[in-house]
Amino acid sequence: MQIVSILQKDFNRLSDFIQNEYGIKMPEVKKTLLESRLQKRLRKLDIKSFKEYCDYLFSPEGMEEELPHFIDKITTNKTDFFRENEHFEYLTDQILPNLLKNKKKEFDTLRIWSAGCSTGEEPYTIAMVIKDYLETKGLHNIRLSILATDISVEVLRVAQRAIYHEIRAVPIPYSIKKKYLLKSKSGEKKLVKIAPEIRELIQFGRLNFMDREYGIKDKMDIIFCRNVIIYFDKQTQEVILNRIIRNLIPGGFFLQGHSETIQGIELPLKQVFPTVYAKTK
């Protein structure tokens, strides 16, 4: 089926919606990218023009049925196990010893938020690293609770399934892989599944950073928000980061991606390591 190229007015309609509702920058240079990402949806729906697609998307039915698919197509979901591994080394060398010395009570809880968790590799990495650390140190009094959120329902579905091709698991150290990954019984499929003891530590949920309230009840000890805010303009970044940091305890730690910066943004944070910050108040 031949799909008519996106017209400027339809691109403007979609890009304005993306910016206003989700804070994601969609400048003119991304017109071809947006078109190519949405073409599969048009074919799936047997729609021949972007005007027809816009009319459907913005209808009550489209807002109910199509919007989750639209969001999945416009968001970037690049992630890996042990991505930016220096963060996990710093986590075990500095952050955990610092935080856990204040958790003296029996069955105290360490709370972590993976904000923008994509297909789950980040929160599962966090869970495996910290569980291994607690077990090695004999800290059986500490409970671990991880919140993992994303705007895309589709990637959350993948994350909750917790099944990955074994190639994806290559960056995971052997000692951790042996403890927390289950191999497929079918040797041909070459799949691994995250062990139940790791999966049960994580609660997945949908969250739009543009919402005024995030509905998070408990303050976090650590927040990972890596390679997410680069897709927002500076003004939106400041609003979102302040909302995120409100959910962090004083003395808690905030980690962002190596390609990101908070320079020029007013936040109660001090840098303690490259792209790692401690909350000051």
Share of the chain above pLDDT 90, in %: 56
For residue 79, pLDDT over 90 is answered with no
Q: By the 8 A CB rule, do 262 and 256 touch?
A: yes
pTM, to two decimals:
0.81
The rounded radius of gyration (Å) of the Cα atoms in the chain is 21
pLDDT in the model for residue 188? 64
- pLDDT (0 to 100) of residue 227: 86
pLDDT over 80 at 186, yes or no:
no
Domain range 8-74, CATH architecture = Orthogonal Bundle (1.10)
pLDDT of residue 105: 63
Q: What is the pLDDT of residue 220?
A: 97
The DSSP result for 2-37, as a single string, is: PPPPPPHHHHHHHHHHHHHHH-B---GGGHHHHHHH
**The token pair that represents 90 in the structure block:** 């710093």
- pLDDT band for 77, please (50, 70, 90 cuts): low
Q: Number of helices (H) and strands (E), helices first, in the chain?
A: 12, 10
Q: What is the pLDDT of residues 206-262, one digit of tens each?
A: 998 988 889 899 999 999 999 888 778 888 899 999 999 999 999 999 999 988 888
For 106-123, the pLDDT digits (tens) are 668 999 999 999 999 999
Q: Where in the chain is the domain with CATH 3.40.50.150?
A: 86-279
Mean pLDDT of 181-208: 89
Residues linked to residue 254 through DSSP beta bridges, in sequence order: 223, 277
231 phi, psi to nearest 5 deg: -90, 0
Check whether 173 has a pLDDT greater than 80. yes
pLDDT of 81 reads 94
CA 275 and chain centroid, separation: 17
Region 69-95 average pLDDT: 88
Say whether pLDDT at 273 is over 80: yes
Any bridge partners for residue 269, and if so which?
279
Composition of the chain by helix, strand, coil, percent to 5: 45, 20, 35
Q: Is 201 helix (H, G, I), strand (E, B) or coil?
A: coil
Which is higher by pLDDT, 14 or 1? 14
What stretch(es) of the chain map to CATH 1.10.155.10?
8-74
Pick the CATH number of 86-279 from 3.40.50.720, 3.30.300.30, 3.30.565.10, 3.40.50.150: 3.40.50.150
